[in-house]
C-alpha cells in the first residue's frame, strides 16, 4: 500500500509544473550580452516575463527583439543607487511585483598582486561586489515583502553570479577572486536572513565563451593550459549555464538556498590548472 503522501496527485509541486515559469516576473541585470543575455532568453522560453537591465542600451534592444513574452527594457548602471531605484520602480509600475532576480554583471582585470593598481582593485570590487550588494539589497526587499503574504508556502528566488574562482585559486585573479569569494559568503548570509520568503543561491561557472572571454582566448597557450585541465577539456557555452539558472529560478529548487551550484566542467573537484608553472623560473 503506497502512503498517501507519495501519490503524485498529492505532491505540493506537480512534476510537470516544476520548471514552469509562466507569468513569473524576472529581472536580469547584465542582460545585454553573455550569460545575462542567455539567461534572459532561457527565462522567456520557460514562460517568464523578463525585465532586461544593463548599461548597454544597444545590446538590450537586440535581446528584447528575441523575446516572446511581455518584457521591459531598462538602461541601468548598478553601481549608481539612483539607477537601481529607478529601474526597480519602473519594474513595479509595469509588473506590480518581482519573483526572480538574476544579479550578473562583473569585470576582471588579470594582473598579479604587485602589478594591480589600487584604482584597478577598486574598480573590480565596486562593479562586482558593491554593485551586486546594492542591487541585491534593493531587489531583495521587494521580493521579500511580496512573498511574506504567502507565509512560507511560496518563495521568491534570487541568484547571484559567482564563479569557480569563489572556490579555486589562479594567479592574476586577485580582485576578481576576492569579489566572487565575497559573493559566495554574501549569498549565504542573505539566504539565512531572508528565509523562508526568498531563496538566495549562486552560480559558479567555469570559463564561458562570452565576448570578453573570447578576447583572452586568443592567447592559445593560456587557453590550452586551462582547457586541458578541466575534465571536459573545453570552455562552456552561455546556454550551458541556462539549465542551472532555470532550475534555481523555478519550483524545482524549492529546497535550495545558500548554495553555490557550479557548472564548471568538473574544474573545482578535479583541481584544475593553477598557473603556477609560469613562476617556476623564479624558484630555481
Write the DSSP string, 243-277.
HHHHHHHSGGGTT--S-EE--STTHHHH----SGG
Closest by Cα among 241, 210, 207, 237 to 225: 207
Is pLDDT at 3 greater than 80 in this prediction? no
pLDDT of residue 229: 75
| pLDDT value, residue 140 | 98
Residue 64 lies in a domain: yes
Return left, alpha or beta for 56; rule: phi > 0 is left, psi -120 to 50 is alpha, else beta: beta
The answer to whether the CB of 195 falls within 8 A of the CB of 138 is no
| Over residues 174-203, mean pLDDT | 98
Catalytic hit among 176, 197, 207, 223: 176
Overall size of the chain counted in residues: 284
pLDDT band at 275 (very low <50, low <70, confident <90, very high): low
Range with the poorest average pLDDT among 42-46, 127-131, 274-278: 274-278
Which pLDDT tens digit goes with each residue over 247-259?
999 999 999 999 9
Domain encompassing residue 208: 21-283
The angle subtended at Cα 239 by Cα 194 and Cα 174, nearest 5°, is 65
Residue percentage of the chain with pLDDT more than 70: 94
pLDDT at 215: 75
- Which of 37-51, 158-172, 236-250, 259-273 is predicted least confidently? 259-273
In sequence order, the 6+-apart residues with CB closer than 8 A to the CB of 185 are: none
pLDDT band at 276 (very low <50, low <70, confident <90, very high): low
Q: Do 60 and 52 form a contact (C-beta atoms < 8 A)? A: yes
User: Is 10 part of any domain?
Assistant: no
Closest-CA residue to 28 (of 159, 129, 200): 159
6 in a structural domain: no
Mean pLDDT score, 155-164: 98
47: exposed, middle or buried (C-beta count within 10 Å: 0-12, 13-18, 19+)?
Answer: middle
* Tens-place pLDDT, residues 105-153: 999 999 999 999 999 999 999 999 999 999 999 999 999 999 999 999 9
Sign of CA dihedral 121, 165, 79, 133: negative
Q: What is the pLDDT of residue 278?
A: 66
Question: For position 221, what pLDDT does the model report?
Answer: 84
3-state secondary structure (DSSP) of residue 6: helix
Residue 8: pLDDT band (50, 70, 90) is confident
Q: Is the model more confident about 144 or about 210?
A: 144
Alpha helices in the chain (DSSP H): 34-45, 57-64, 81-95, 118-125, 131-147, 174-194, 211-216, 220-229, 242-249, 267-270
The pLDDT of residue 218: 82
Q: Is 52 helix (H, G, I), strand (E, B) or coil?
A: strand
176 labelled catalytic:
yes
Report the CATH number that the domain containing residue 126 is assigned in CATH. Answer: 3.40.50.720
- Tens digits of residue pLDDT in 82-98: 999 999 999 999 999 99
- How many whole angstroms separate alpha carbon 178 and alpha carbon 161? 14
Indicate whether 254 belongs to any domain: yes
For residue 130, being part of any structural domain is answered with yes
Q: At what angle do helices 174-194 and 131-147 cross, to 10 degrees?
A: 20
Which residue did the predictor score with more confidence, 273 or 229?
Answer: 229
What's the number of domains the chain is made of? 1
> What pLDDT is stored for residue 222 in this prediction?
81
Amino acid at each position: 500500500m503506497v502512503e498517501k503522501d507519495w501519490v503524485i496527485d498529492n505532491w505540493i509541486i506537480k512534476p510537470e509544473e516544476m520548471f514552469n515559469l509562466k507569468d513569473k516576473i524576472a529581472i536580469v541585470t547584465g542582460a545585454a550580452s553573455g550569460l545575462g543575455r542567455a539567461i534572459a532568453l532561457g527565462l522567456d522560453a520557460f514562460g517568464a516575463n523578463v525585465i532586461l537591465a544593463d548599461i548597454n542600451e544597444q545590446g538590450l534592444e537586440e535581446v528584447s527583439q528575441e523575446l516572446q513574452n511581455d518584457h521591459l527594457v531598462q538602461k541601468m548602471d548598478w553601481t549608481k543607487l539612483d539607477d537601481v531605484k529607478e529601474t526597480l520602480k519602473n519594474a513595479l509600475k509595469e509588473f506590480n511585483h518581482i519573483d526572480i532576480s538574476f544579479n550578473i554583471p562583473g569585470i576582471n582585470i588579470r594582473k598579479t598582486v604587485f602589478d594591480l593598481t589600487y584604482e584597478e582593485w577598486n574598480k573590480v570590487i565596486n562593479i562586482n561586489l558593491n554593485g551586486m550588494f546594492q542591487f541585491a539589497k534593493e531587489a531583495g526587499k521587494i521580493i521579500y515583502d511580496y512573498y511574506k503574504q504567502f507565509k512560507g508556502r511560496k518563495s521568491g528566488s534570487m541568484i547571484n553570479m559567482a564563479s569557480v574562482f569563489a572556490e579555486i585559486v589562479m594567479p592574476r585573479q586577485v580582485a576578481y577572486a576576492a569579489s566572487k569569494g565575497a559573493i559566495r559568503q554574501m549569498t549565504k548570509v542573505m539566504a539565512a536572513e531572508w528565509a523562508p520568503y526568498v531563496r538566495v543561491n549562486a552560480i559558479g561557472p567555469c570559463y564561458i565563451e562570452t565576448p570578453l572571454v573570447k578576447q583572452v582566448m586568443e592567447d592559445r597557450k593560456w587557453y590550452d593550459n586551462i582547457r586541458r585541465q578541466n575534465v571536459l577539456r573545453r570552455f562552456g557555452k552561455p546556454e550551458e549555464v541556462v539549465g542551472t539558472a532555470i532550475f534555481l529560478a523555478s519550483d524545482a529548487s524549492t529546497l535550495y538556498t545558500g548554495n553555490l551550484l557550479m557548472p564548471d566542467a568538473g574544474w573545482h573537484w578535479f583541481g584544475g590548472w593553477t598557473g603556477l608553472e609560469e613562476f617556476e623560473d623564479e624558484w630555481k
